Amino acid sequence: MEDEDIEKAVLAYLRKKGLNLTELALQEEQSRLSSDASHSRSQNVADRYFDGYSRLRSWAYNSLDSYKHELLCVLYPVFIHCFMDLVEQGYMQEARTFFHTFREDHEMMHLRDLQKLEGILSPSHLEEMELARFLRQNKVKIRLCQYSYGLLLQFIHKKSLDMLGVINQHINFEVTPGQPTSISDDSEAVSLVGASQDLEREINQKELHWGLLEDSVEERMEKALSDSDKTEVEGNKEGDPEENNKKKTDGNKQGTSVSNKKKKDKMVGATGKTTRSETSMVSVAPRVKSELTLPQLPPEVELSIFEDLRNRAQLNSLALPSVSFYTFRHTHNGLNCSAISHDGSLVAGGFSDSSVKVWDMAKIGQPGRASNSQGENRSMQGMHSLASDEAKRPYSLLQGHSGPVYSVSFSPFADFLLSSSSDNTIRLWSTRLNANLVCYKGHNFPVWDAQFSPVGHYFATASHDRTARVWSMERIQPLRVMAGHLSDVDCVQWHPNCNYIVTGSSDKTVRLWDVQSGECARLFIGHRSMVLSLAISPDGRFMASGDEDGTIIMWDLSTGRSVSPIMGHNSCVWTLAFSCEGTLLASGSADCMVKLWDVTSSMKALKTDESISGPTSRLRLLKALPTKSTPVYNLRFTRRNLLFAAGALSVGS
């Protein structure tokens, strides 16, 4: 008979004979022995995880420096899954001890995730917490060289078999031939991937038309400029003989000075022609048809663009842009976002008190004049006092949201303004009437970002509901819903040809979406924290993304791989902007710095060697422009290549 059967028989006999005290004593003894056995088992399980991870950690930290940074990448996923395994099996006290013992090793790179995981207090939390569920359902991809992978397998089989199950279940290794990658260049050394290992590769093999719109306004204007230059040069050639004859007949100083002036003007004209030909390097990009019905531009708008192109400054590593910085003061930490119009004439701010304010730069410093304010003057009583208050304001006040405003965006010609809020809505405002025109409802949670398309009329939004949506001004419902991110969609940006949008998310990925189909056309994996800012080069081929840690990564949209990851700032990168010809990248951060980067070298390196599989080169810092104490909220290059920036002065500075 089994021990359990014998114990049951003894208890039944004692009960039959009426020996109640003896029966009770026997039951208490059995309970004590069972508790001791259970405690022993839990202690054994906890010790197994503790000892196995300790040995792996000690071995990784004591390995050769050449391979150490690769082997250390294995520790974090093993650590979090050992912790969650203990929680899942009900060993809560042991799990907490394990977590706090080794937490310090990973705080520098994964502090935000650790703060979330620290809130797991029971097995049910593993299902309820989004991050924990995501980590359990998906594997981590770790890139190792062949030799590092061999060393790891050899150690695990000899001295750390307890960790073998954790590694097999939750980690995918991408083994590469040759030497280990450097610490700074490998942005994709550790990244979370979906349940399918080939998801990223499958998405990034889709065909992508990254070129510019055919017959665009800029293309027509540059062609007109080129034709006018040819006509001017031909006219100068025909006029040269007459000028020479004049010089022969009239040899005085005045004739000589006129001739010198002509030569100077001719040189300036030739220089201008060279400048414009370099500026129009984006015209080398392939041309594509628009999948959206685009609005027609009024003649006066085309004329304005024409004048801007004629007067555009050519920027490069030796000729940096002029920078104008707008500083918000006395905001009392209430400013959440800002936007600057295409020519810098209007500046808007979104505030925590649900208001939007618009400043006309031409009126700053002038005597106050009354401005319209949406939602004010609702009664005749007190009208004069309200009008007096309005006259004193240097801005137009737009009220309508019922929660903090997180994003504002001007249309390409500054006649409209978009704002998004925690009240789940997007509002369209007229900058001429200072009035709310439309309230768009569709998102189920706060809307973090809203951006107009390059041609206006259409706009895209990003939300806490993990979706991005494409809208048109004339419809109150979205045209497309882009779903696929595993966490908040924090930022959104349009491709120059309006056929795609890109989104950055708290799931540490960037996705490019086809506007026509609503499908994901590219998946970019490499960031190690939430993506906060995006920018696309004017030719439509390259994209820059900035994250919470201060990292900036350049991506090639055609292949989906990173070009040059860098640690650009010491804090969150809140805004990015390319110059009009795409030779410079400007970045603004919470570290109160504007930085200018030379991207030409990275692009040339990529184009000269398309076979390179990893990051080819690094962005070169051209200039760092510190503010006194003003985090940079927004950057904007005008069509003339003047750089505008905006931010709120920090309290106490």
DSSP for 91-127, please give it.
-HHHHHHHHHHHGGGGHHHHHHHHHHHTT--SHHHHH
CA distance 144 to 156: 15
CA distance 554 to 544: 4
Q: How far is CA 537 from the centre of its chain?
A: 14
**Residues facing 416 on adjacent strands:** 430
Q: DSSP letters along 149-175, please? A: HHHHHHHHHHH-GGGHHHHHHHEEEEE
Q: Which pLDDT score is estimated for 238?
A: 56
Cβ atoms 630, 649 nearer than 8 A: yes
CB contact set of 241 (below 8 Å; sequence gap of 6+): none
Q: Which pLDDT score is estimated for 261?
A: 43
Q: Which pLDDT score is estimated for 137?
A: 83
**Residues facing 421 on adjacent strands:** 405
User: Of 118, 111, 143, 146, whose CA–CA distance to 132 is shortest?
Assistant: 118
CA distance 76 to 458: 43
Q: CA torsion angle for 38, 43, 44, 47 (degrees, to 10)? A: 160
The pLDDT tens digits for 87-123 are 998 888 889 999 999 999 888 778 878 888 888 888 8
Cβ atoms 598, 268 nearer than 8 A: no
Give the type of residue at 151. L
Task: Give the residue ranges of the chain where pLDDT is below 70.
Answer: 1-3, 32-43, 181-199, 222, 225-283, 365-392, 602-617, 652-653
Measuring CA to CA, how many Å separate 177 from each of 145, 184, 188, 525, 563? 6, 19, 16, 21, 20
Q: Which pLDDT score is estimated for 258?
A: 41
Q: Which pLDDT score is estimated for 442?
A: 93
CA distance 207 to 184: 31
**Could you tell me how many helices (H) and strands (E) the chain has, helices first?**
16, 33
Dihedral (CA of 151, 154, 157, 159) sign: negative
Neighbouring CB atoms inside 10 A of 212's CB total 21
The pLDDT tens digits for 322-370 are 999 999 998 888 999 999 999 999 999 999 999 999 999 888 866 654 4
**Residues facing 593 on adjacent strands:** 626
Neighbouring CB atoms inside 10 A of 601's CB total 17
**Which domains are present in the chain?**
45-176 (1.25.40.500), 315-363+391-606+616-648 (2.130.10.10)
Q: Which pLDDT score is estimated for 189?
A: 44
Q: Which pLDDT score is estimated for 578?
A: 95
